[in-house]
Structure 1
Amino acid sequence: MTGASATSAARWLRRFHPIPEEGPRLVCFPHAGGSASYYFKLSRVLHPSMEVVAVQYPGRQDRRTEPPVGDITRLADLVTDELRAAGPRPTILFGHSMGAVIAFETARRQERAGTGPLALITSGRRAPSTTRSGAPLLHLVDDARIVDQLRALDGTHSQILKDEQLLAMILPALRSDYRAVETYTYVPGPPLRCPVLSLVGTDDPQATTDEVSAWAGHTDGPFTLRVFDGGHFYLDTHTDEIADVIRSTTGGMS
Structure 2
Amino acid sequence: MTWFRCAESRPWASLRLFCLPHAGGSAVFYRPWAKEINPAVEVHAVQYPGRADRMADALIADAHQVARLVAGAMAPLADRPIALFGHSMGAVLAYEVARLLQERGIAPVHLFASGARPPHDRGDDRVSEGDDDALVEEMLKLGGTDAEALRDPELRELVLPYVRNDFALIENYAHRAGARLAVPVTAIIGDADPHVTEEQAAGWSDVTDGPFALTVLPGDHFYLMERQRDVIARILRALEVPAAP
TM-score range, shorter-chain basis? over 0.9
Q: Which residue of 2 aligns with 1:39?
A: 30
Helix, strand or coil at the partner of 2:32: helix
Q: Which of 207, 212, 218 is equivalent to 1:218?
A: 207
Q: Which of 125, 131, 138 is equivalent to 1:149?
A: 138
The TM-score with structure 1 as length reference comes to: 0.91
Take 2:204 and 2:44, find their aligned partners in 1: how far apart are those partners? Answer: 24
Q: Which residue of 2 aligns with 1:197?
A: 186
Q: Which residue of 2 aligns with 1:209?
A: 198
CA contact (8 A) 2:150 2:159 kept: no
Residue 159 of structure 1 deviates from its aligned partner by 4.5
The TM-score with structure 2 as length reference comes to: 0.94
Q: Which residue of 2 aligns with 1:4?
A: none
**Counterpart amino acid of residue 234 in structure 2:** V
Helix, strand or coil at the partner of 1:68: coil
**Counterpart amino acid of residue 248 in structure 1:** R
Q: Which residue of 1 aligns with 2:96?
A: 105
2:10 maps to 1:19: yes
Post-superposition CA distance 1:161-192 (Å, at most 9, x none)? 22111011111111111111000000122210
Take 2:13 and 2:144, find their aligned partners in 1: how far apart are those partners? Answer: 33
- Give structure 1 stretches of 5+ with no counterpart: 1-7
CA contact (8 A) 1:195 1:222 kept: yes
Take 2:53 and 2:27, find their aligned partners in 1: how far apart are those partners? Answer: 10
Post-superposition CA distance 1:97-142 (Å, at most 9, x none)? 0000110000000101111000000000011121424x3x111111
- Give structure 2 stretches of 5+ with no counterpart: none
CA contact (8 A) 1:59 1:68 kept: yes
CA contact (8 A) 2:25 2:146 kept: no
Give the number of the structure whose residues are more often helix, by fraction.
1
Helix, strand or coil at the partner of 2:120: coil
Q: Which residue of 2 aligns with 1:122?
A: 113
Q: Which of 38, 45, 51 is equivalent to 2:42?
A: 51
Take 2:147 and 2:176, find their aligned partners in 1: how far apart are those partners? Answer: 37
**Counterpart amino acid of residue 38 in structure 1:** F
Instruction: Decide whether aligned partners of structure 1 residues 20 and 72 sit closer, same or farther in structure 2, where only a CA change above 3 A counts.
Output: same
Give the alignment of 1:166-245 within 5 angstroms. 166-245=155-234
Residue 42 of structure 1 deviates from its aligned partner by 1.6
CA contact (8 A) 1:198 1:225 kept: yes
CA contact (8 A) 1:17 1:47 kept: no
Q: Which residue of 2 aligns with 1:5?
A: none
**Counterpart amino acid of residue 119 in structure 2:** P
Take 1:244 and 1:20, find their aligned partners in 2: how far apart are those partners? Answer: 22
Instruction: Decide whether aligned partners of structure 1 residues 175 and 48 sit closer, same or farther in structure 2, where only a CA change above 3 A counts.
Output: same
Instruction: Decide whether aligned partners of structure 1 residues 163 and 122 sit closer, same or farther in structure 2, where only a CA change above 3 A counts.
Output: same
Instruction: Decide whether aligned partners of structure 1 residues 222 and 172 sit closer, same or farther in structure 2, where only a CA change above 3 A counts.
Output: same
CA contact (8 A) 1:20 1:50 kept: no
Residue 17 of structure 1 deviates from its aligned partner by 1.0
Helix, strand or coil at the partner of 2:150: helix
Residue 156 of structure 1 deviates from its aligned partner by 3.1
The CA RMSD measured in Å over matched residues stands at 1.4
2:150 maps to 1:161: yes
**Counterpart amino acid of residue 85 in structure 1:** P
Helix, strand or coil at the partner of 2:72: helix
Of all paired residues, the percent bearing the same amino acid is 37
Q: Which residue of 2 aligns with 1:69?
A: 60
2:235 maps to 1:246: yes
Take 1:239 and 1:210, find their aligned partners in 2: how far apart are those partners? Answer: 23
Take 1:159 and 1:178, find their aligned partners in 2: how far apart are those partners? Answer: 17
Take 1:245 and 1:41, find their aligned partners in 2: how far apart are those partners? Answer: 16
